[in-house]
Amino acid sequence: MSSKVAVIGAGYVGLTTAACFAHLGHEVYCADIDAERIALLERGEVPILEAGLEQLIAEGVRAGRLHFVVGAAAAAEHAEFSYLSVPTPQGPDGRADLSYIEAAAREIGPVLPPEAVVINKSTVPVGSTRVVEQALGRSDVYVVSNPEFLREGSAVSDFLHPDRVVIGSEDQGAAIRVASLYVGVPAPLMVTDPASAETIKYASNAFLATKLSFVNAVAAVCEAVGADVNDVVLGMGYDKRIGHDFLKPGPGYGGSCFPKDTSALIRIAEDGGYDFRLLKGVVDVNEEQFDRVVRKVAEMAGGSVEGVTIAAWGLTFKARTDDLRESPALNVLGRLLDEGATVRAYDPAVSAALPTRPGIEVSADPYAACTGAHVLVVLTEWDEFRWLDLDKVAENMADEPAIVDARNLLDRAAVQRRGFRFEGIGRR
């Protein structure tokens, strides 16, 4: 059954949500306050890199099921369901900033039809349904939590083939109505209260961040005792209770979710009277990992990076996305710049026109980034980096070139055969 759906926010989550609901047969109005962004979308230009999204948007527009409008009210005025997919950035105190959520709710409140359902898709702290209810100023509409579990780079697949769909509502009828939007989506459906739904989202991201900090800590142990972390995590992952996912060491976690969601859950716990020391340790280990990568680069540069040219492969927070928000690569490179290094970088999804960090020179290709560099550091796991001509890389770099592979992406033996000094994460 087709429904009229409004999606407020045309970012990663909002665009994916809008395009996928249109694909499922619903009539969708996707709104944003950025008129230029809406104009781009109306011209068929998708401003983000996300596998399959451009095709899905084009399909929805051609079918007349997907529309783009400026302003939340224009999308919500005739919608049975209004999804709030706006940013909830980390505030100065670590808590989620709900100002965008409140502003969107205040805008749509006067125009919502009676019995409409407003759904929090954004990651929001416990109690946010009440915040939205107050901002709406309506007693004849329902507020439901329906958290997203989308991974950048595979968001379309994650929406259409999720591990689960979680709906949090105090009203069973409203929950059933939201569930009807997902007819045709093969996934377990879980209906619970809003507080539990909101906590599921934060706890899930915090657990994944914990796995990443854990494996980076294990990598440090491997370096101390002479073990190979790749073999260690392979052996661990065969245990079905552990699994292989999120057990890859790296420069530290980042992105738009994990840093803010771990901090937010720590604050949520504190507000409830619980000191979440375990999660604080996860955050601390992550900060230490950035410093460990910087130290590895400095050691390869002779003990200091001051005045040293560093080449970097990778700027986005992960491969298969163009998202630079809270990128571990930018975090590491920023620390190298602070220590006096010159940084030249390449990323297949980042052009020189995109703002990164002052001081980072963005090159047009990976070989140019290496010109005159003393150390090359691999920071994002783009597959193309595996197959580059290492002889050409060596020719472009300074004498006695070195590589710090913070993603354990390259073939260590092949790198060393070509005369590079080499350092990985958790392996020698």
Q: Which of 20, 222, 257, 370 is catalytic?
A: 257
> What token pair was written down for 297?
């680069």
81 neighbors 46 (Cβ within 8 angstroms): no
Rg of the Cα trace of the chain?
Answer: 23
Helices (H), 161-237: 172-180, 194-225, 229-237
**Separation between Cα atoms, residue 358 and residue 276, nearest integer Å:** 36
Report the distance separating Cα 353 and Cα 50, nearest Å: 19
Contact 14, 30 (CB under 8 A): yes
State the angle between helix axes of 128-136 and 194-225 in degrees (0 to 180), rounded to the nearest 10.
Answer: 140
CA dist 403 → 308, 416, 422 (Å): 14, 10, 5
Q: Is 189 helix (H, G, I), strand (E, B) or coil?
A: strand
Strands (E) in 252-317, as ranges, are: 309-313
Phi, psi torsion values for 288, nearest 5 degrees? -65, -35
Which amino acid is present at 94?
A: G
Distance CA 40, CA 36 (A): 6
Type of residue found at 78: H
Cα–Cα nearest to 132, from 103, 157, 158: 103
**Residue 324 near residue 354 (C-beta atoms within 8 A):** yes
What angle, 0 to 180 degrees and rounded to 10, lies between the N-to-C axes of helices 229-237 and 194-225?
140
Active site includes 257?
A: yes
List b or e across 126-165, with b for residues whose CB sees 16 or more CB atoms inside 10 angstroms. Answer: bebbebbbebbebeebbbbbbbbbbebbebbebbbebeeb
H helix or E strand, kind and range, residue 259:
helix 258-271
C-alpha distance across the termini of the chain, in Å: 58
How far apart, in whole angstroms, are the C-alpha atoms of residue 314 and residue 404? 13
Which tokens in the block code for residue 280?
């604080």
186 touches 163 (CB < 8 A) = no
Residues sharing a CB contact under 8 Å with residue 204, sequence separation 6 or more, in sequence order: 149
**Residues assigned a catalytic role:** 257
